[in-house]
Structure 1
Amino acid sequence: QGRIISRLGDPSAPKAVSLIAIHEHGIPDSFPDAVVTEADEKKAVGLDGREDFREMPLITIDPWDARDHDDACYAHEDTDPRNKGGHIIWVAIADVAAYVPAGSALDHEAKKRGNSSYFPDRVVPMLPDRLSGDLCSLKEGVPRACIAVRMQINAKGEKISHSFHRALMRSPASLNYEEVQAAIDGRPNLRTNPFLKPVLQPLYAAYAALLEARRVRQPLELNLPERQITLDEVGKVQSVNFKDRLDAHRLIEEFMVLANVAASETLNEKASSLLFRVHEEPSPEKLDHLRDTAQAAGLNLAKGQVLKTAHLNRLLSQAEGTDCAELINMTTLRSMTQAYYSPQNFGHFGLALRSYAHFTSPIRRYSDLVVHRSLVSAHGWGDDGLSPRDIEELDKTAAHISETERRSMVAERDTTDRYLAAFLSEQVGGELEGRVAGIAKFGIFVKLDNSGADGLVPMRSIGSEYFHYDRETNTLIGSDTGVIISLGQRATVRLAEVIPTTGGIALELLALDGAALPKGRKNFAGRNPRRKPTKAKRQAAKLKRKVKRSRS
């Protein structure tokens, strides 16, 4: 027995793809009337009780299609003679706390959602559009409430001091990453040209200094391309591409990391309650798997020492430019623990920071709103800071929003898988190139070059012989031919089947590293033979001895 609670339409229709994931994972996608009413009644915050930053050229730099603008920045040379070659960096963040009082209907709904969720065809926002796309958004030419941090750095990019300010700003320009990068590369347009010398060049000068500090700190330097799915007007996949990673992206990231560190440090110094962003080091088991993968690729990750990101960066550097670069980057990522929120500080392993908090995206993350309220309370800026109940429930809030973040990540991944399957559905029967990205008892996973999609080659369909899975070396070994299938090998596959509603992609393996699979005597169709073939045994033993020697 059951009842229909919602109709999503044809499950194979393009516009149903993200809706399936939204409902499957229980992401709230409509706001209660009381929340919408409360948001609609809000008026723009004025200058009362705030510093006036309206003449400061704080610009926003975002994706070209961004609807909400959390952050703006400005930098200039430090005129202090004691800080020769230093810079002053300003980062201004939307003052969401001014519009979302603790305990209000808006607050309860934002906390319930925990974060915004992003899909190729839609955004499920944490806050109603009246706030996220209007009053809180740092729009061009419009006065907007903000919490800003002024940071003084030296010529080596090290932060010397910082201070927080509650202000009213007015951004002179909302620019996108591509046009900012083009301007710095000597191709300014009508929008960026007036800001090139007074704003953009000083921003990049400060960024160059921060890069020096980054090289010393050695945060984890993963190099994984970000996929971009482009849809047409009816929601069908038009293209799948990989985004170029520009210095403009890195600049904003470095500024935001610095501002987040400043927020964490200030609240620590003032003994204020907050939510830290915690990232613990990898487990020994996952590190062993990464080490085995590296050794199979002819690379080395040292053992028997306290793990630091510098050790992992050394491995990533060894892999750079080789056929196994993507595999090592992906395996390193998979060896990482999931970051989470906590009222207790355990540091951030990936960023190589002792203390870290999220401050820079309060429109789309509830954690940042909590940090903003804590800053308001710590500075005595008003009565819209952390409430006693907020403080009492910090542990519960941290666990909840860590879970909503994971929920959104899974829903976004499932949606991407379904879109990719739909995109590939017209290529069934065709040959594609990829690389072995995963090996298990039931088959191998191949990451396809043209889309980055992962497809499964079932064990029963591999060649014409039984393949033995060796857990220690993470390889498949042919019973008759002794052929070895290992991570990182180039693979030619035939697209056998796709199921867009589930995102499933089935492949048939045709060749490895350009050579067709050799023929065995018999196809066991996925059944284990009564005795393990002696050739597979010998090959596995040989690989194990090699691994043991390299470990010692």
Structure 2
Amino acid sequence: MARRIGHDDASHRFAPDRETVLRFITDNPSRATKRDIAKAFDVKGEARVELKRLLKELEGEGLIERRSKRLSKPGALPTVLVCEVVSRDDDGDIYAEPATWDEDNGPPPKLLVLGKAGRRQEGGVNPGIGDRILARVSDMPRGYEALARAAVRPIKLLERKADSVMGVVRRTAGGARVTPISKKQQHEFIIDEAHLNGAEDGDLVTLDVHRAGRYGLPQAKVRERVGSMKSEKAVSMIAILANEIPYVFPDAVVAEAEAAEPATMAGREDWRELALVTIDPPDAKDHDDAVHAEPDPDPANPGGVIVTVAIADVAAYVRPNSALDKEALKRGNSVYFPDRVIPMLPERISNDLCSLKEGVDRPALAVRMIFSADGYKRRHSFHRIMMRSAAKLSYQQAQAAIDGRPDDKTGPLLDPILRPLWDGYAILHKGRTEREPLDLDLPERKILLKPDGTVDRVMVPERLDAHKLIEEFMIQANVAAAETLEAKKSPLVYRIHDQPSPTKLDALSEFLSSLDLKIAKQGNLTPSLFNRLLTRVETHPNAQLINEVVLRSQSQAEYSPLNIGHFGLNLRRYAHFTSPIRRYADLIVHRALVRALGLGDDGLPDGIEDRLDRIAADISAAERRAMQAERETIDRLIAEWLSDRIGSTFKGRIAGVTKAGLFVKLVDTGADGFVPASTIGSDYYAYDEIRHALVGSRTGETYQLGDTVEVKLVEVAPLAGAMRFEVLSDGRQGRPLARSRLRAGNRSERPETKRKTYGPRRGR
């Protein structure tokens, strides 16, 4: 569509409308300047003024952004980027992905790699699988729109990452093949007998990949034999190695930990008579936080409560610039897998000296907080103490006692310790309700393993008030730490969480519109805006999916020495203080408190201010690395668990829609799989970006984000943690997309293009 400009203009020039301009910018990444748009739509005369005004309007609304003279949609690929070549199809075309990609924006985009003069792989730079290239975004050749998000033309080959390929050996006559563990690498590698380097069948290995030709499987050499995949912990080891997570402590670190002596009373207050208790998961091996609550006896604070949180004093054992400290910073945090934990600190520290064991003297840093009856914190103070845990309890054990089912251990603790804790939580909950943090309802699935390391079952643990109590006590302790250090003008690392970007809010609004829902956008953006939406949809059939999409629309929390507040918790200042055993950020906060409050000589070292930016960036990256490794391990475990159920049918929900097909999340297990578009329906399907749907070009049959579908498991790749489904359910009735939208580039491939991608449904 376009608007006529100037009735007296003999040439009747038109300015394109908003949708047309946005579509052109999306579909023409290499030629999307104002001049390009004017030329494409023959905009002249007064229409140029109207076009300029429209572009400024779109830029002001955050719908497009300007990079030099080039216009692009927010989040679009940069003009030049580093890519990794990851796959090649049966026709010899190769595909790449960006070398770095924010997983919050969805899976990495698939990029078609072009050769010179627009011909694929002819002359110039001819990269192979495993190569890294510097490439320029180019226009997509006709017929490839459904196969890749964009096209790139190589500028030059870059040095290949030394650890770019890892896989499992499968011996054959005269050599072997290696199945890669990465979802990005879709083809096996051939290895001659002379290049196996001692690797046996079933071994996990790293490879040096030879430059591959256009056809045939690439060849490789075994660089290192990592270990046997027959080990019960092999699945998590894949993620550990693939994500470069340090898992072996150097000898100097172990020696330093073993030489550590228990802390003494020097410089500490004696709180061993205070009935602090630990409440943790039943299988916890370390206990780094303890809690206590009692009514405030002050007549000026009627109905108030005193809440105490004590945290293991890790700073007493891990001194700045020591071997332990350097290794902890390198690791950034502990990493938790279903079958093992990769700790930030050696067990001598984490499971012994800094574990608040029942009946054992342990050093701690404690915060004493006084709340009014309405949940408002009146004041707080920090203390370096010696404590003695009165009891070690599990969440379920403490909750059962409160619910009227005490056991031999919790019975005597019920009135003097547990009921005051729950009374204190009731008061703090009032303050939380008034604060209105983001309240997402996302059940956390837990994988239970058999002794051999394979999956026994997947369950959703019950969310107890005991969990919420500990969570709220820890949040308040974290807030108190940030407030104290800010008041003392001390350097520290904040835990920050920015509000959602305009682009993500627009995407959320479009998704909600596809479900006939709206989110109000008036006034300041606060978590309560999302909470009202989530309350409205509690009984909606897609309530869980809506919660997940709202979570996806949020920014990622990170660490920073600069404070912007925590949007999700709706807090102006927040820092991590409560788990220095497993997070380096908390150790920094402990040291900052020690220095700022004069609690010892083992606080933050001088000059740390100049390094906090880099430290915050490093530990934020380590956190993302750990989350990626944990997610990959769960994917592989579930894929292996379901590998003997090929042909079985499952109930799922469409959790993602692309031109290439549907991402489906199984209801029972939360497992993710892909439905290729070539197996969907008996029509040719167009991708409706606004509605997040695939729509039949002839029938209008629609598969939309959030729809419940029945799928059949047709293929599993356990090493990659990938599954392929075939959808068995009919789509909902709908209308075919308008021709103008098909012409705008949303149409899937037609039969006469390079290959038939969308065919009749199978298995009906």
CA contact (8 A) 1:490 1:512 kept: no
Task: Indicate whether 1:23 and 2:241 are aligned.
Answer: yes
Shift of 1:70: 1.4
Deviations 1:235-288 (A, max 9, x none): 011111111111111110000000000000000001111000010011111111
Over 4 Å off, 4+ runs: none
> Is the Cα contact below 8 Å between 1:222 and 1:329 reproduced in 2?
yes
Residue of structure 1 equivalent to 2:510: 292
Instruction: Kindly indicate whether the alpha-carbon contact (under 8 Å) linking 1:154 and 1:160 is maintained by their aligned counterparts in 2.
Output: yes
Which residues of 2 match residues 405-484 of structure 1 at below 5 A? 405-484=623-702
TM-score scaled to structure 1, two decimals?
0.92
5 Å matches for 1:258-407?
Answer: 258-407=476-625
Quickly say closer, same or farther: Cα 1:444–1:14, change in 2 above 3 A: farther
Measure the CA separation in 1 of the matches of 2:469 and 2:513.
35
Tell me how large the CA RMSD over aligned residues is: 1.8
Residues 9-88 of structure 1 mapped to structure 2, 5 A cutoff: 9-10=228-229, 14-88=232-306
Q: Is the 8 A contact 2:681 2:730 kept in 1?
A: no
Question: Which secondary structure does the structure 2 equivalent of 1:194 belong to?
Answer: coil
1:528 aligns with 2:750: yes
CA contact (8 A) 1:59 1:175 kept: yes
Deviations, residues 479-502 of structure 1 (Å, cap 9, x unaligned) = 222111112111101011111100
CA, structure 1 residues 288+529, in 2 after alignment: closer, same or farther (shift >3 Å)?
Answer: farther
1:535 is matched with which residue?
none
The structure, 1 or 2, with the larger RCO (C-alpha pairs under 8 Å, 6+ apart) is 1
Q: Aligned pair 1:8/2:227, yes or no?
A: yes
Is the 2:702–2:733 Cα contact (8 Å) retained in structure 1? no
Preserved contact between residue 115 and residue 405 of structure 1 (Cα < 8 Å): yes
Q: Partners in 1 of 2:660 and 2:546 — Cα distance? A: 22
Aligned to 2:349: 131
Deviation (angstroms), 1:13: 5.6
2:749 aligned partner, one-letter code? R
- Contact map agreement 1:492 1:512 (CA 8 A) in 2: no
Aligned length, in residue pairs: 523
SS in 2 for 1:175: strand
> SS of the residue aligned with 1:126?
coil
Bigger drift between 185-194 and 99-108 goes to: 185-194
Asked if structure 2 preserves the Cα contact closer than 8 Å seen for 1:8 and 1:20, the reply is: no
Percent of aligned pairs with the same amino acid: 54
Task: Give the structure 2 partner of residue 543 of structure 1.
Answer: none
Q: Partner of 1:481: helix, strand, or coil?
A: coil
CA contact (8 A) 2:655 2:665 kept: yes
Whole-Å separation in 2 of the counterparts to 1:166 and 1:54: 12
Aligned counterparts of 2:711 and 2:363: Cα–Cα separation in 1: 55
Measure the CA separation in 1 of the matches of 2:357 and 2:565: 34
Q: CA deviation at 1:31?
A: 0.2
Q: Deviations over 1:39-68 (max 9, x none)?
A: 000011121210011111110011111111
Cα distance, 1:113 vs structure 2: 0.2
Q: Does 1:257 align with 2:475?
A: yes
C-alpha contact 2:358 2:388 (8 A) present in aligned 1: yes
* Matched-pair contact (CA < 8 Å) for 1:278–1:356: yes
Distance 1:327 1:449 in 2: 11
Q: Which structure has the greater CA radius of gyration?
A: 2
The secondary structure found in structure 2 opposite 1:323 is coil
Instruction: Return the alpha-carbon distance in structure 2 between the equivalents of residues 495 and 401 of structure 1.
Output: 39
2:151 maps to which residue? none
Q: Give yes or no for contact 1:8–1:19 (8 Å, CA) kept in 2.
A: no
| Aligned with 2:331 (options 99, 113, 135) | 113
Change (3 A) 1:234 1:349: same
Stretch of structure 1 that moved more, 401-410 or 313-322: 313-322
Give the Cα–Cα distance (whole angstroms) in 1 for the partners of residues 459 and 645 of structure 2.
17
Q: Deviations over 1:429-453 (max 9, x none)?
A: 0110011111111111111011111
Matched residue, 1:549: none
C-alpha distance after superposition, 1:205-250 (max 9, x if no partner): 1111111111111100001011110111110111111111111111
Conservation of the 8 A alpha-carbon contact between 1:69 and 1:138? yes
| Preserved CA contact (<8 Å) 2:344 2:581 | yes
1:100 is aligned to 318
Instruction: Tell me the secondary structure at the aligned position of residue 456 of structure 2.
Output: strand
Give the distance between the partners of 1:9 and 1:137, measured in 2 at CA.
34
Q: What SS is found at the alignment partner of 2:653?
A: strand
The letter of the residue matching 1:456 is F
Residue type at the aligned position of 1:253: E
1:174 is matched with which residue: 392, 411, 435? 392
Secondary structure in 1 matching 2:228: coil
The answer on whether the counterparts of 1:489 and 1:512 sit within 8 Å (CA) in structure 2 is no
Distance 1:439 1:483, change over 3 A: same
Q: What secondary structure sits across from 2:513 in the alignment?
A: helix
Q: Distance in 1 between matches of 2:256 and 2:750?
A: 64
Match of 1:490 among 708, 719, 726: 708
Give the C-alpha shift of residue 350 in structure 1: 0.4
| Mapped contact 2:296–2:302 kept (Cα < 8 A) | yes
Residue 20 of structure 1 aligns to a residue whose secondary structure is: helix
Question: What do the CA deviations read for 1:309-359 (whole angstroms, capped 9, x no partner)?
Answer: 000001111111221111110001111111111111110000000000000
Give the residue type in structure 2 aligned to 1:39: A
Q: What is residue 36 of structure 2 aligned with on the other side?
A: none
Structure 1 residues 9, 508: CA separation in 2 closer, same or farther (over 3 Å shift)? same
Whose helix proportion is higher, 1 or 2?
Answer: 1
Q: Distance in 2 between matches of 1:214 and 1:253?
A: 11
SS at match of 2:582: coil
Q: 1:470 to 1:483 in 2, by over 3 A?
A: same
Unaligned runs of 5+ in 1: 518-525, 532-552
Q: Which residue of 1 aligns with 2:78?
A: none
Query: How far apart are the structure 2 equivalents of 1:413 and 1:69?
Result: 25
SS in 2 for 1:303: coil
Once the two structures are TM-superposed, the CA of residue 188 in structure 1 deviates from its matched residue by: 0.9
Q: How does 1:145-156 map to 2 (within 5 A)?
A: 145-156=363-374
Per-residue deviation at 1:516?
11
Give, in angstroms, the shift of residue 390 of structure 1: 2.7
Q: Which residue of structure 1 lines up, in the alignment, with residue 133 of structure 2?
A: none
Find the residue that maps to 2:233 and give its secondary structure.
Answer: helix
CA contact (8 A) 2:700 2:733 kept: no
Gapped regions of structure 2 (runs ≥ 5)? 1-207, 209-220, 735-747, 754-764
Q: What is the correspondence of 1:493-508 to structure 2 with a 5 Å cutoff? A: 493-508=711-726
